[in-house]
Structure 1
Amino acid sequence: MIAKFLKEYSKWYLLYASMTGLYLLTFFLYHLPITFFLTSFSFNLTLLFGISIWLFLGFRKKMKTLETFLSVEELADFTLPSEESYRDLILAIKSSQSQRLLDAKHQHQGLQDLIKMWSHQMKVPLSALSLMAQTDQLDKQEVRQQLLRLEKYLDTLLNYLKFSGNKDDFRFEICSSREIIMDLIKKYRVSFLAKNLSVNIEGDWQLKSDKKWLSFALSQVLDNAIKYSKDGGQIAVKMDEKGITILDTGMGILSEDLPRLFEEGFTGFNGHEHKKATGLGLYMTKQVLDRLALSIAIESQVEIGTQVFIGKQKV
């Protein structure tokens, strides 16, 4: 502690020693009695010793406070302008640190809730597959549909974790939205057949984007169109140089739910009513499209259908 004290106040002691040397030089040059200098030096040294003890006690108290303090209120004795600046800086750092800890806690809690929700969603297709296996009634089309659901839930979770960790692997190239849609329709053909849905595709949209992530975003929209369509319904995909529009003749979305569709974890009336939503699909879609510099807009009417438009963001 003494070494730290001397290090902090070394400049002042060096200044005192320099001034003492100058006074001694003055006495020597003017042939003044050295006794007067020694008397003055004794008084000054005694005063310096007393002041040093007082400064050291204050320095030790501050050092112990800094080593053990838990709240900024404990730094109330730091009254010098420079000390107040340090105190304000410590307060700002602690506030920022507390906010980061709170954010991390919320993120951890959100991840736990997500895992619970995801596990619950996975149980449904797994239970269906288990029941078919136990009863020896393995319907090929139904098995494919349940496996497709499992694949979608897993894909959504993995992409969510990747985005949450700010780990992305975008690779921009010229893409054909028609090719992507055709691949997705082939992927979801079992779901189309299960609900006897017809699909109509018009035009194409050539754009520079990341094919994998654009495909993921479009798959979420197309999956919702299939999920909430009525048996025997229709899905239309229209593309031009402005963007891509996906329309369905499903149950539609309540007007009060529309502004919150892209919130994380929001399922809305349809999700609660049919217990098919995780609240991540459209949230992830919006996150991905934002990174791709694309926009998404949704219009819907209950019992009439939903229209989703994806295009380039306006500059």
Structure 2
Amino acid sequence: MIRMFLREYRTFFLAYFLLAGSFLLLFYLYQLPWTFFVQSILLASTIFLIIMLSLFWKFFHRMKVLKDGIHEADLYILNRPIDRVYLALLEKEKDETRQQLLAYKKREEDLQALVKLWSHQMKVPLAALSLMSQTKQLDPQSVDSQLLRLDNYQANLLNYLKLSNQSSDFRFEEVDVRLIMVDLVKKYRTHFLHKQIAVSIDGDWTLKSDRKWLAFALSQILDNAIKYSSEGGLVQILLDQGVTIRDQGIGILAEDIPRLFDQGFTGFNGREHQKASGFGLYLAKRVLDQLELDIQVTSQVDQGTAVVVRKK
């Protein structure tokens, strides 16, 4: 403790010895009586010793408080300006750490919920494929449909992890949205054929965006349009300074629309039909926000839903 104190206040001791040396030099040069020098040094040393003892007492208590942990009752000891600045910095770092831990805990909870849901969803197409294999009824169209569902669930999980870890590799370029929608319609052709849903694509829209992530967001919207469409229905895709995907499906309750993009929210019709995961539109919204695009939903029950994506 004494060694730490000497190191802390070494400037004080150095200044004292320099002053004492200066007095000694002056007394020597002017041939002053040494009695005065001795008396001056004794007086100065006594005052200096009292000050150092006082500083050492305070230093000892501050170090003890810091080693044992700072409590509310001990804050009066740390009353120097530098102590207050240090305590304020510690409190700020503590708050930041607490916020980071809460955010990390929430991400972990969200990830656990998603993995549980994802594993549950994966069982359905896997069970269907297993049943077709056991019964020797491997219909190519049905197999393609189940494989596409598995691919979509895997993409959702991987992209959720990328977005959560902020490791998204956005690369902006001129994108022809019509080509993206044509590719998506080809990708989901088995679903369209299975439910005998007609599809139309009209217009054009070109913007500067990330092709891969925009395609992923639009695929979630198109997948929902197919999922909730009735057999023999129609999905219309209109491109004009934005993209509108309109279906003739079961629709969405008005009170559910404001919460469509909340994580895990399925809505009344989603729960009734047991098809919704609550992550598709949530992920689409997160991606579109980072692409600086806006998404709006209008719907009427039993008449259909229209989803519009355009620049903000």
After TM superposition, the score normalised by the length of structure 2 is 0.92
> Structure 2 vs 1, CA of residues 8 and 219 (structure 1 numbering), >3 Å: closer, same or farther?
same
Counterpart for residue 80 of structure 1: 80
> Structure 2 vs 1, CA of residues 227 and 51 (structure 1 numbering), >3 Å: closer, same or farther?
same
Counterpart for residue 286 of structure 1: 285
Q: Does 1:243 align with 2:242?
A: yes
Distance 1:300 1:106 in 2: 32
Counterpart for residue 219 of structure 1: 219
Counterpart for residue 274 of structure 1: 273
| 1:164-175 equivalences in 2 (<5 Å) | 164-175=164-175
Q: Is the 8 A contact 2:237 2:243 kept in 1?
A: yes
Q: How far apart are residue 271 of structure 1 and its match?
A: 2.6
Counterpart for residue 195 of structure 2: 195
Distance 2:148 2:189 in 1: 10
Bigger drift between 33-42 and 79-88 goes to 33-42
Structure 1 residues 73-117: Cα deviation after superposition (integer angstroms, max 9, x where no partner): 654421122211211111111111111112111111211111111
Which structure 1 residue ranges, 5 or more long, are not aligned? none
Distance 2:234 2:178 in 1: 18
Distance 1:149 1:285 in 2: 17
Counterpart for residue 207 of structure 1: 207
3-state SS of the aligned residue for 2:255? coil
Percent of matched pairs sharing the same residue? 52
Counterpart for residue 48 of structure 1: 48
Q: How far apart are residue 53 of structure 1 and its match?
A: 3.8
Distance 1:100 1:64 in 2: 30
> Structure 2 vs 1, CA of residues 97 and 117 (structure 1 numbering), >3 Å: closer, same or farther?
same
Q: How far apart are residue 7 of structure 1 and its match?
A: 2.4
Structure 1 residues 270-305: Cα deviation after superposition (integer angstroms, max 9, x where no partner): 332222222221121112122222211111111111
Letter in 1 for 2:9: Y
Letter in 2 for 1:260: R
Counterpart for residue 232 of structure 2: 232
Distance 1:191 1:18 in 2: 91
Distance 1:258 1:129 in 2: 34
> Structure 2 vs 1, CA of residues 155 and 14 (structure 1 numbering), >3 Å: closer, same or farther?
same
Bigger drift between 87-96 and 64-73 goes to 64-73
Q: Is the 8 A contact 1:72 1:87 kept in 2?
A: no
Q: Is the 8 A contact 1:75 1:87 kept in 2?
A: no
Distance 2:220 2:72 in 1: 49
Q: Is the 8 A contact 1:225 1:250 kept in 2?
A: yes
Q: Is the 8 A contact 2:61 2:77 kept in 1?
A: no
Counterpart for residue 160 of structure 1: 160
Counterpart for residue 8 of structure 2: 8
Bigger drift between 67-76 and 183-192 goes to 67-76
- Tell me how many residue pairs correspond in the alignment: 312
Distance 1:90 1:171 in 2: 39
> Structure 2 vs 1, CA of residues 185 and 300 (structure 1 numbering), >3 Å: closer, same or farther?
same
Distance 2:54 2:101 in 1: 40
Q: How far apart are residue 201 of structure 1 and its match?
A: 1.4
Bigger drift between 281-290 and 75-84 goes to 75-84
Letter in 2 for 1:302: V
> Structure 2 vs 1, CA of residues 75 and 113 (structure 1 numbering), >3 Å: closer, same or farther?
farther
Bigger drift between 107-116 and 269-278 goes to 269-278
Counterpart for residue 296 of structure 1: 295
> Structure 2 vs 1, CA of residues 60 and 274 (structure 1 numbering), >3 Å: closer, same or farther?
farther
3-state SS of the aligned residue for 1:256? helix
Q: Does 1:93 align with 2:88?
A: no
Letter in 2 for 1:311: R
Bigger drift between 39-48 and 99-108 goes to 39-48
Distance 1:64 1:269 in 2: 61
